[in-house]
Chains A and B, each alone.
Chain A
Amino acid sequence: MTRYSRLFLAAAPLILTGSLWAQASIPEIPYDSAPNLLKLPEHIHMGEAVGVATNSKGHIFVYTRTGSTNATLGGSRIFTHGGARLLEFAPTGNFVREIGQGAYGLMFAHTVRVDPQDNIWIVDEGSNMIIKFNPEGRVVMTMGRKPESVPVPEPEARRGASGAGVAGDIFNRPTDVAWDAAGNIFVSDGYGNSRVAKFDKNGKFLKTWGSRGTAPGQFNTPHSIATDAQGNVYVGDRGNKRLQVFDNNGTFKTEFLNVGAPWAVCITPGPHQYLYSSNSNGTGNMENGEIYKMELDGRILGKFGTAGKLMKEFGSIHEIDCRNANEIYVGEITNWRVQRLSLHPNQAK
């Protein structure tokens, strides 16, 4: 009894903050995972499934870290190439094709997103590039530039001093990309820099905001990014364990502190938009791992999943596709797979 009353005392102030109270009683959303979803040809193997996205036809694109990044001894420098592949599957999971095989910027995959016109965008943390493929799979725009060569041994900390980056599309281990309704491009950048950069739809630099730190508007590994229909920008500020929301010009609006470390965020399309965020387990542990479903104002509607290696469990989720609010795709780092999850929110308890 005494214990209970203490708990209530502690909880009382939390009720005032609303969303924090919700955390103590978050409904579990029942879900299934489709077994053996992706069928690969005999000689292609999935590696770390860091990126997954669907297009308007339900085709599934997976950007995976596979093979080996090779270093070639040049005359006086060392050049790196290879190590990432972009694969396309039909909605049934049948393999359709590989895109960008041998292309210059595919080195160390980070994310893939499909824009409303079904262009496929990959973000590569190794080449520091963002590459836009048209629906036919040809390169139509590039951002950033792959470093010509790498020094060996590479300095362990290649981080810029403030993380603010430069005015332009020179990235330092960028992580993700999003667009608003006008086609403006938002890049979360990244591990080396700690900022968000905004470009117009033609790739022309508009502005950059953020630097390394913990204050509102600062970042510690901005790892994932999404926009809503109003053009607000949601940044998974992973190292600070918070989601930050900015308006379309980068003015800080609010932060959501109660959903763990947002490794992957996704906002559903349609008239009523939802926000998914994964509190993924680190690649060296099996803690946490749950995905939250939220309203755009941060109210938590439910959660599901936990870290592990079995079906329906998650191995460091790295990207979420939520084109369909109740049929989402998750790409996992440590389990080298993509799962299709069917959510049953009406049965939540």
Chain B
Amino acid sequence: MKRSMNYCFVVVVLLFAKPHFAQAQSLTPAQMTARAKARDVPEIPFDSTPNFLKLPPNLYLGEGIGVATNSKGHVFVYTRSQETRLFEFDRTGKYVREIGEGLYGFAFAHAVRVDPQDNIWAVDEGTNMVIKFNPQGRVVMLLGRRPESAEGVKATPPASAPEPPAQPYTFSRPTDVAWDADGNIFVSDGYGNSRVVKYDKNGRYITSAGSKGSQQGQLNLPHTIAADAKGNVYVGDRSNRRIQVFDNDLKFKAIYDQVGAPWAVCITPGPHQYLYSSNSNPDSNLADIAAVTGEIYKMELDGTILGKFGHAGKQLGEFSTVHEIDCRNENELLVSEITAWRVQKISLHPQSKGSSSK
């Protein structure tokens, strides 16, 4: 009894000490920019499962770019290794198989998502393709097209060169995919284009929204996307450091700009949906920026912040540029990290937060 009391006390001290510590330091302008605007956000206690994913001796994860689970709890990891590869693990982290070995559409992983029918969707930033696999791991639909190698290598355009106009069926470094209840497909596109595209479930173009900029409805690196049960679409507008919400026809609805740069967003299923968003520490690894970033926020769909957890770092339970979040289970998240080459299974304990703050 006494011991657990002490333990609680320590936690409470830490909860209060951390924000104070951060505020006590005088922040540089760069830190002020990188830091999320939200203040006095409750910390949600959490654990990370050690050695979660077990790989065969001859396989290595590279950058942990994409992670998603299916309805059976199987874990899919889309990783930048020597080749970009897609691995499947069971719910205990045991290796099951590789999917799409040597696939024409795999060049530079960006995101993987599993739809309600357990189809697996990979978004590849290198081939400009969104690839739908059925649960057996076979390609069943494709969006976008890999540029032809026979056209030759094009010189890299200067960064200042304007992007050519976006085409309905062609992506420019797409980043993520989401679906509404009817199976309509939403693609965030991406590093090259600055838009969100809506297709019907059969891959026919319906509409798109967004152009490059910082105005309402404009996007500057739409990096991650999720849809809620009503079909609203949440876009992580990373370089504008805000989440933008659009309705199902991609009409602008709202902006949430309190939670830093949304590298990865995820919306839980079920009757009460929550929104997770990661203010990841940039992969540039600047120590001063890492000191004020890296946390993940838990929100209501209306943007109300419920809590946050984590910070940048390389140890278990710390985050090294979280790139995708799986939140099929609201309190058991999977996060993939770019710079740590790993996936962590994070168990949240929001109720202990409640008891400690009372």
Residues of chain A at the chain B interface (Cβ within 8 Å): 40, 43-48, 64-69, 83, 107-108, 125-126, 150, 152-156, 158, 173, 191, 283-286, 308-310, 315, 333-336
Contacts and interface: CB of A to CB of B under 8 A. Distances in A.
Interface in B131-150: 138-139, 141-142, 145-146, 148-150
Contact of B152 (A65, A107, A156, A335): A156
Given A108-B148, A153-B153, A336-B142, A47 B103 contact: yes
Contact of B149 (A64, A69, A284, A334): A69
Nearest 4 pairs of A and B residues by beta carbon: A47-B104, A154-B152, A309-B203, A66-B104
A309 B155 contact: no
A68 B107 contact: yes
A66 B149 contact: no
Interface residues of B, number: 31
B205 interface: yes
Contact of A45 (B107, B139, B169): B139
A153 B149 CA distance: 12
A60 B47 CA distance: 54
Contacts of B142: 309, 315, 334-336
Contacts of B204: 286, 308-309
B239 interface: no
Given A45-B103, A285-B167, 15 more contacts: A44-B102, A45-B102, A64-B104, A68-B106, A107-B149, A108-B148, A153-B152, A154-B152, A154-B153, A158-B152, A283-B145, A284-B167, A284-B169, A309-B142, A309-B202
Nearest to A158: B152
A336 B104 contact: yes
A158 B150 CA distance: 10
Nearest to B152: A154
B33 to A, nearest CB: 36
Given A156-B154, A308-B202, A308-B204, A45 B148 contact: no
Interface SS of chain B: helix, strand, loop or mixed?
Answer: loop
A334 B150 contact: no
5 contacts: A43-B102, A48-B104, A83-B149, A152-B153, A286-B205
Contacts of A48: 104, 146
Nearest to B203: A309
Contacts of B83: 68
Contacts of B103: 45, 47, 66-67
B81 interface: no
A64 B139 CA distance: 14
A65 B103 CA distance: 10
A125 B139 CA distance: 25
B179 to A, nearest CB: 15
A43 B155 contact: no
Contacts of A286: 169, 204-205
Nearest to A333: B145
B168 interface: yes
B307 interface: no
Contacts of B150: 108, 125-126, 173, 191
Interface of B: 83, 100-107, 138-139, 141-142, 145-146, 148-155, 167-170, 202-205
Contacts of A44: 102
Given A156-B154, A284-B169, A285-B169, A66 B102 contact: yes
Nearest to B98: A43
A46 B139 contact: yes
A334 B152 CA distance: 20
Contacts of B154: 153, 156
B21 to A, nearest CB: 48
A67 B107 CA distance: 9
A305 to B, nearest CB: 15
A284 B170 contact: yes
B152 A155 contact: yes
Contacts of B203: 308-309
A260 B186 CA distance: 32
A126 B169 contact: no
Nearest to B168: A285
A160 to B, nearest CB: 15
Contacts of B139: 45-46, 336
Contacts of A155: 152
A152 B167 CA distance: 27
Contacts of A152: 153
Contacts of A126: 149-150
Nearest to B167: A284
B143 to A, nearest CB: 9
Contacts of A69: 149
Contact of B141 (A43, A64, A68, A309): A309
A108 B204 CA distance: 28
A310 B152 contact: no
Contacts of B107: 68
Nearest to A152: B153
B132 to A, nearest CB: 10
B104 A153 contact: no
B86 to A, nearest CB: 11
Q: Which of B104, B107, B139, B203 has the most CB atoms of chain A within a 10 A radius of its CB?
A: B104
Contacts of B152: 150, 153-156, 158
Contacts of B155: 153
Nearest to A313: B202
